[in-house]
Amino acid sequence: MSDLQEAIYQIVVKEVARTEPKRKENFLDKKDAEKLIKKYTRKYVFQEYLTASDAAAVLGMSLTTFWRFRQKYPVPVHVIDGTIKRYKRSELIEFIEKHSVKGCA
């Protein structure tokens, strides 16, 4: 089990224990587990092409800051059918690493 899967599993177990104290065991059926996993995981963790709001979340900034950042810097974007814009997660991370300053805050 990967670290991410282990962390998700621990969150699910804690959530079950918190929300349903009358259960004798921490047993989840598949439907309950999927519901809790969706609640505690963000879709941008698993997707390569992201919407603007998901891209902003990956970069750790608000959507407004992301739009300002896009106006100032040439952020790589993929345009589909002239209207749909998607941001490739690996390109965003590479772009940020290239344009950031390493040091102490």
Strand partners, 87: 50
* pLDDT at res. 104: 66
In this structure, what are the phi and psi dihedrals at residue 48, rounded to the nearest 5 degrees? -90, -40
* pLDDT at res. 57: 84
Task: Cite the DSSP H helix spans in 3-47.
Answer: 3-19, 30-40
Report the alpha-carbon distance of residue 59 to residue 31 in Å, rounded. 31
Percent of the chain with pLDDT over 90: 17
> Are the beta carbons of 50 and 58 closer than 8 angstroms?
yes
Instruction: Please tell me whether the overall predicted TM-score, pTM, comes out greater than 0.75 for this model.
Output: no
Q: In this structure, what token pair is assigned to residue 28?
A: 């989840």
- pLDDT tens track for 55-86: 888 888 899 999 998 999 898 999 988 888 99
Q: Which helix (H) or strand (E) holds 86?
A: strand 84-88
- pLDDT tens track for 9-26: 777 778 777 776 555 555
